[in-house]
Structure 1
Amino acid sequence: MRDTLEQLVVRHTHRIPSPAGPAGSGEVAARQFDAALMSVGFKLSGQALEHLSSLSGATVAGTARRVLSTVREMVGDHVRHNVYFVDFPANVPDTLDFWMRCIAEALADDASRASTLQQLSHGVVDLLTLPSYGRYPHAYAEMLAAHDELIPAAGDRLTVLHLGGPLQDEVTGLYLALAGSSTPLGEDGLRDLEILAGHCVAGPQPETIPVRENRAVVNRARLVAGAGLLLDTVTDVLRLACALSGGDVTLTEPTRFRTLPRPVRRALLAGLDAVVAASPAKLADVTAHREAFKRLGERLHPHEYPHWPHAADVFAVARGEKEARSFDSRVEELLAMHDVTGAVNLLSAAPGKLFRSLDRLLRMALTQDERDTIAETAGQVAGEVSGRVLLSVAEHLRNRAWATGERRVFVGRTGRAWVTEDTRPPVLPPERERLIAVVDAEMRRRLPDTAHVLVDPDVLDVALPLSGRATTAGLGVLPRGSLSPVDGELLRFFVYWKEHAHTTDYDLSALLLDADYRTVTWLSYTALSDVEGEHSGDITAAPQGASEFINLRLGAVRGTYIVPQVNIFSGEGFEEVEESFFGFMLREAEKAGRPFEPRTVRMKSDLRGPGRVALPLAFLRGDDGRWRAKWLHLYLKGHPSANRVEGNRVSVATLLRGVVEREYLTVGYLTDLLAGRGTTVTRWDGTSVPDGPVTYIGLERPDGLHPDSRIVTPENLRDLIPA
């Protein structure tokens, strides 16, 4: 368990918990540890190196073993990355020549000659039936021998690991940060929170847990430990039941409830009874999840506990035996009568719902008086709305200047994306600007008082993480809509997957588009090379794991956009395989080295989402000729099998256009608000740091900051969102 907790701290904070061990002369071991870290693109901070050097060699060696294992997995170096073409990116053949060679080898093979001749007689050959196609023709060691050693370069990634406090302090701090987050966590974050909550249940707790999914995970740990539950709605109990059954605490997907032990049933029913007894109006929340409550009632047996009558009322409402009119139904009734003012007055009692309804209310308003009432009421209750909702609404309004007929991009909670025509009339500019000003003023008021903000210019275009589901777990990953600079001459994508129970074929491809989002060319297993670069070759099964690469020379790219994608040709989905991840590397000129070099990895993210086509990010060439990454984290539904880049070019281009042309709220938006109220905001030049404490916001934490400084990097970017 200790190793797991230490791994979580390193992965989430890029800090090494201060090792507990005897003093000694660990200088040699510490420098060896630092050298090993540098080989995979990491490095000890000066303070961490000094502290480890003061410990015994055995203590340093144990720490090094655990941390190296963690960072190698973070960067994708914990598996073997082989390629089909042994000296890739050199000597990649022409696609048709390669296919003809595979056919010739099949004809020379006694076992495959007859079937190949039969296919040729019909004019079509299935590549998957050719013995030499899709399987590694050489061992991993042979591939390594074909490549010279990588020469380190100044442009290689170097992620600094800083010294943290004692392990328990670090674990507690991470738990409080995740549990008390003001924005929802992603699937991986919830899983990590579950581990931390079980360990920290008897320790300090966050003052509030505003995100309901987080509360469900914490409540599960509290229930197991016999601690009191944190419940204030009937839906809190439903989410807890989902957590206990290993289901979806977001309530997006239905949960198959397990048979629960009697003590657990009593705890859930007692919680329901207490919530409803304190506020009978909360029975109205049942209707939103009627079917789930009906299925839960079958597991809890409320009829066995007559002394909790309010809990029984919950399931009576779910079955339709008792009426509990919801707040939303009252709003809908008023809107059905076109009583916009009445609906606004009612919604003022639920400020969050009011703000989420602003677009609809403004579209229904027929008079200026109604529009004025909407804006004035929003201004009056803005102080009671969560920061995440305010920012989400402000971002939405900034993108509502379009005229009817534009394409509208939808992205679900799980990253599934689709496009449809936007038939909504535009929101009138005066009200739109007035409401944006309301949010700006409220955000300016809520931002914490800080004398000096030091900001890395490269972080200003990073999108605010309004939801943890707008990103994925990994290294160097930024929220959807973020822009980050890409400095290098060679861009190399990679995908790795390992099938779980069925033969699985993933295909890495790259679509190149011009400024009007029209196809220029692509690289894939059907187009192994072009003037821009090379594909490493198609691997069609991964029982021991498989990798594919695409190498691009950025200076040779024709077009404006590069869109890497992972298509599932056959087999298990992204959520079914044992492991799958995507990433990219940057190198200078024609550098030597293996196809996968951890020091050059700029980003590695897990592939865990719905659909059969993954779009992790895209690359955009600016007017100045420089390339930048645009983060997507999207999944297309695709086809059950045989997905190819040729078949989804139009949908990918449409989605990309929707994301590229959308205005996202960024870190720069918040720093402008701070500067507007008098806070000193300084752009960091990458060299000297102030002597006193600052609030530092950047992609990486620099060494030498004052110990009392507040540090915000992508790992804890959610801390910028005011409660």
Structure 2
Amino acid sequence: MANSLESLVIRHTHRLPRPAGAAGEGAVAARQFDAVLASVGFKLSAELMERLSTLSRAAVVHTARRTLDTVREMVGDHARHNVYFIDFPARVPDTEEFWMRCVTEALGDSSARESVLTQLAHGVLDLLSLRTYGRYPHTYEEMLAVQDELIASAGDRVTVLHLGRALDEELTDLYLALAGSPTPLGEEDLRDLKRLAGRCALGPQPEAIPVRENRAVVNEARLAAGAELLVDTVVDVLRLACALSGGDVTLQEPTRFRSLPRPVRRALLAALDAVVAAHPAKLADVRAHREPFKRLGERLHPHEYPRWPHAAEVFAVARGEKEARSFEGRVDRLLGESDVLGAVRLLASAPGRLFRALDLLLRSAADQGERDAVVAAAVRVAPEVSGRVVLSVREHFDNRERESGGPRVFVSRKGRGWAAPDVRPPVPAADRDRLITALDTELRRRVPAPERLLVDPDVLDVALPLSGRAMPAGLGVLPRGSRSAVDGEQLRFFTYWKETGAPTDYDLSALFLNADYDTDRWISYTSLSVDGGEHSGDITHAPDGASEFINLSLDRVTAAFVVAQVNIFAGEGFDQVEESFFGYMLRDREQKGRPFEARTVRMKSELRGTGRVALPLVFHRADDGRWVATWLHLYLKGISTANQVEQNQVSVSKVVRAVMEREYLTVRYLIGLMSGRATAVEWREGEPVPDGPVTYVGLERPEGLHPDSRVITLENLRDLIPA
């Protein structure tokens, strides 16, 4: 258990909890450990190297084994990445030539000949029916034997592992960071929080747990530990019940409630009773979740506990036996009566809801006087609205400057994306600008004013993580809408999947678009090579795991956009397979190397969405001719089987255009607000760091920072969001 918890700390913080063990002469073993780490793109910080050198060789080796397992999985090197074409990216055949070769081989096989001839007689041949198609024709070891060794380059990725504190201290800090996150967590982070909460429920707690899903996970652990529950709405109790039943605490998916022990039922009913007794108006929240509350009532048996009469009222509302007009219903009624001022007065009692309704209120206002009242109310309640909501509304109005009819992207909590024309009437420019100015003023008041602000310019175009669901788990993963430079002659992206039971066929593809987002061409198993690109070959079964690659020589690619995608042709979904991930590598031509080289991996992200087509990234040319990656993290619904790049090109083009034309708030925006109150200094890798404490914002923590420095990197980027 301790080892897995140590792994959790490494993944989240890139710190190795302070290694313990017998004292000794571990310097040689530590250097060997560092050398092995370098082969997968990691290295030990000077401080960590010094600590390991004071331990015995056995202690260093023990630490190294555990750590290597973790970092190899972080970068995707735990899998054996084979390719169909053994010389890939060299000598990839012409598609039709390759298919004819498959047919010829099948005709030469007496057991397959009759079936092939029958199919050919009908004019159609199913390649998947050929026994050799879609399965590796050679072993992993045979592939390695014909591939050149990778030549190391100064441009290879190097991720530094820093020395952490004792494991218990690191776990407590990580728990506090995840539980108190100002933004919703992704699915993997929520699972990690659950593990940590079980250990930390009775220890130090964050000052606040603003995200309700996080609160449900923490409450589950507190209930088991006999601690007081943290609930102030009836929906908090519903989320807790979902957590106890292994269901969805976001309430997006229905939960099948389990039979609960009597002590648990009493705790939930007591919590409901206390909430309603203190604030009867909160019964209105039941109506938005009537069905799950009715199902929960069947498990809690509130009629058996007359001492909690207010809890029984919750289920009476759910069954429609008691009236409780919802807050949203009252707002809708006022707007339906064209009483905008009345709606503003009501919404002012719930500042977050007022902010989310600002666009609608401004469009519903009958005259300038009503619009002035909307803006004035927003300014008045702004200090009571969470920083995440203020930033979200600020970003929203940035994108309302465009005329109606432009593309608008919609994204569900599960990452399902689709695009549609924006048919909303425009917001008057003067009111929009006044509101943006007021929001900037409020946010400027909230951001810290560090004495010394050190900024890595590579982080400036990273989108603010207003939701953890916009950024899946992985290494080097940036939030949706972020942009990062692609520096290298060859771009190679890859996908890996391992099926759970049913035969599963994923197809890595790339759609090439011109500057108008029209299809230029594509590369996939139906088009194995195009100018500047090669496909590694189609794998159709993955009982032991399978990989596909696309290699691009960027100086030969003429398209404006290259959209990487993974299509599910058959079998299990991304959230059903044992494992699936996507990533990309960068290298120069002279480096050679195997199809997968861990130290050249720039990012690796999990694929766990509910759609049948994954769109992780789009690569595009900037105005200066350099290539840039923009992060999508989207899933299209697709069809149940046989998804192909040729079929989804229109929907992909629409979604990509909507994301590319959207203005995302980035780290640059918040740094700009801080710079008005503090001096920001740019810092680039290789430059010396200041001697005293600083606030550092960058992609990764540099070595040598003063121990009292505040450090914000990709691992804790959410800490930039003001409270």
TM-score for both structures, normalised by structure 1? 0.99
Match of 1:295 in 2: 295
**5 Å matches for 1:83-482?**
83-482=83-482
1:535-559 CA deviation, whole Å, 9 max, x = no partner? Answer: 0000001011100000000000011
1:64-114 CA deviation, whole Å, 9 max, x = no partner? Answer: 111100000000001100000011111110000000000001100011101
Structure 1 residue 590: Cα displacement: 4.1
Match of 1:60 in 2: 60
Cα pair 1:505 1:568 within 8 Å, conserved: yes
Q: Determine helix, strand or coil for the equivalent of 1:494.
A: strand
Q: Determine helix, strand or coil for the equivalent of 2:168.
A: helix
Match of 1:657 in 2: 657
User: Residues of 2 paired with 1:594 and 1:420: CA distance?
Assistant: 42
User: Residues of 2 paired with 1:366 and 1:337: CA distance?
Assistant: 12
Match of 1:608 in 2: 608
Residue 722 in structure 1 maps to residue 722 in structure 2: yes
User: Residues of 2 paired with 1:109 and 1:151: CA distance?
Assistant: 42
User: Residues of 1 paired with 2:159 and 2:408: CA distance?
Assistant: 38
User: Residues of 2 paired with 1:8 and 1:53: CA distance?
Assistant: 24
**5 Å matches for 1:544-623?**
544-623=544-623
| Unmatched runs of 5 consecutive residues or more in structure 1 | none
Call closer, same or farther: CA 1:322–1:439 in 2, change over 3 Å: same
Match for 2:673: what amino acid?
Answer: L
Q: Determine helix, strand or coil for the equivalent of 2:83.
A: coil
User: Residues of 1 paired with 2:194 and 2:467: CA distance?
Assistant: 18
Structure 1 residue 598: Cα displacement: 0.2
Structure 1 residue 514: Cα displacement: 1.1
1:161-212 CA deviation, whole Å, 9 max, x = no partner? Answer: 0001000000000000000001000101100000000011121111110100
**5 Å matches for 1:485-500?**
485-500=485-500
Q: May I ask how many residue pairs the two structures share in their alignment?
A: 722
Structure 1 residue 327: Cα displacement: 1.6
Call closer, same or farther: CA 1:590–1:522 in 2, change over 3 Å: farther
**5 Å matches for 1:624-643?**
624-643=624-643
User: Residues of 2 paired with 1:495 and 1:675: CA distance?
Assistant: 41
Match for 1:339: what amino acid?
Answer: D
Structure 1 residue 404: Cα displacement: 2.0
Match of 2:518 in 1: 518
Moved more, 678-687 or 372-381: 678-687
Match of 2:702 in 1: 702
Structure 1 residue 229: Cα displacement: 0.8
Match for 1:64: what amino acid?
Answer: A
Q: Determine helix, strand or coil for the equivalent of 1:258.
A: coil
Structure 1 residue 532: Cα displacement: 1.2
Cα pair 2:407 2:657 within 8 Å, conserved: no
Match for 1:679: what amino acid?
Answer: A
Cα pair 1:535 1:550 within 8 Å, conserved: yes
1:435-470 CA deviation, whole Å, 9 max, x = no partner? Answer: 111111111101123111100111000000000000
Match for 2:447: what amino acid?
Answer: L
Cα pair 2:234 2:283 within 8 Å, conserved: yes
Match for 1:422: what amino acid?
Answer: D
Q: Determine helix, strand or coil for the equivalent of 2:440.
A: helix
User: Residues of 2 paired with 1:154 and 1:54: CA distance?
Assistant: 30
User: Residues of 1 paired with 2:571 and 2:659: CA distance?
Assistant: 29
Cα pair 1:495 1:583 within 8 Å, conserved: yes
User: Residues of 1 paired with 2:684 and 2:576: CA distance?
Assistant: 45
Residue 39 in structure 1 maps to residue 39 in structure 2: yes
User: Residues of 1 paired with 2:684 and 2:259: CA distance?
Assistant: 59
User: Residues of 2 paired with 1:592 and 1:675: CA distance?
Assistant: 44
Q: Determine helix, strand or coil for the equivalent of 1:517.
A: coil
User: Residues of 2 paired with 1:456 and 1:449: CA distance?
Assistant: 17
Q: Determine helix, strand or coil for the equivalent of 2:496.
A: strand
Match for 2:624: what amino acid?
Answer: D
Q: Determine helix, strand or coil for the equivalent of 1:493.
A: strand
1:403-456 CA deviation, whole Å, 9 max, x = no partner? Answer: 222222111111101122221111111111111111111111011231111001
User: Residues of 1 paired with 2:315 and 2:640: CA distance?
Assistant: 39
User: Residues of 1 paired with 2:530 and 2:273: CA distance?
Assistant: 67
Q: Determine helix, strand or coil for the equivalent of 1:103.
A: helix
Cα pair 1:584 1:602 within 8 Å, conserved: yes
User: Residues of 2 paired with 1:41 and 1:303: CA distance?
Assistant: 61
Cα pair 1:414 1:469 within 8 Å, conserved: yes
Structure 1 residue 326: Cα displacement: 1.7
TM-score for both structures, normalised by structure 2? 0.99
Structure 1 residue 390: Cα displacement: 0.3
User: Residues of 1 paired with 2:453 and 2:65: CA distance?
Assistant: 37
Residue 535 in structure 1 maps to residue 568 in structure 2: no
Moved more, 581-590 or 211-220: 581-590
Match for 1:685: what amino acid?
Answer: R
Match for 1:80: what amino acid?
Answer: R
Structure 1 residue 375: Cα displacement: 0.4
1:24-66 CA deviation, whole Å, 9 max, x = no partner? Answer: 1110111111111101000000111011101111111111111
The structure 1 segments of at least 4 consecutive aligned residues displaced by more than 6 Å after TM superposition are none
Cα pair 1:25 1:54 within 8 Å, conserved: yes
Structure 1 residue 685: Cα displacement: 3.1
Cα pair 1:490 1:590 within 8 Å, conserved: no
Cα pair 2:152 2:591 within 8 Å, conserved: no
User: Residues of 2 paired with 1:324 and 1:531: CA distance?
Assistant: 65
Structure 1 residue 274: Cα displacement: 1.1
What CA RMSD, in Å, does the superposition of the two structures yield over aligned residues? 0.8
Cα pair 2:151 2:590 within 8 Å, conserved: no
User: Residues of 2 paired with 1:603 and 1:685: CA distance?
Assistant: 20
Cα pair 1:82 1:143 within 8 Å, conserved: yes
Match for 1:605: what amino acid?
Answer: S
User: Residues of 2 paired with 1:64 and 1:483: CA distance?
Assistant: 34
User: Residues of 2 paired with 1:171 and 1:247: CA distance?
Assistant: 25
Match for 2:45: what amino acid?
Answer: S
Cα pair 1:570 1:641 within 8 Å, conserved: yes
Cα pair 2:453 2:681 within 8 Å, conserved: yes
Match of 2:8 in 1: 8
**5 Å matches for 1:681-700?**
681-686=680-685, 687-700=687-700
Cα pair 1:617 1:629 within 8 Å, conserved: yes
User: Residues of 1 paired with 2:180 and 2:260: CA distance?
Assistant: 28
1:659-683 CA deviation, whole Å, 9 max, x = no partner? Answer: 011000000000101112x301011
User: Residues of 1 paired with 2:227 and 2:379: CA distance?
Assistant: 40
Cα pair 2:153 2:591 within 8 Å, conserved: no
User: Residues of 2 paired with 1:284 and 1:155: CA distance?
Assistant: 58
User: Residues of 1 paired with 2:3 and 2:289: CA distance?
Assistant: 40
| Unmatched runs of 5 consecutive residues or more in structure 2 | none
Match of 2:678 in 1: 679
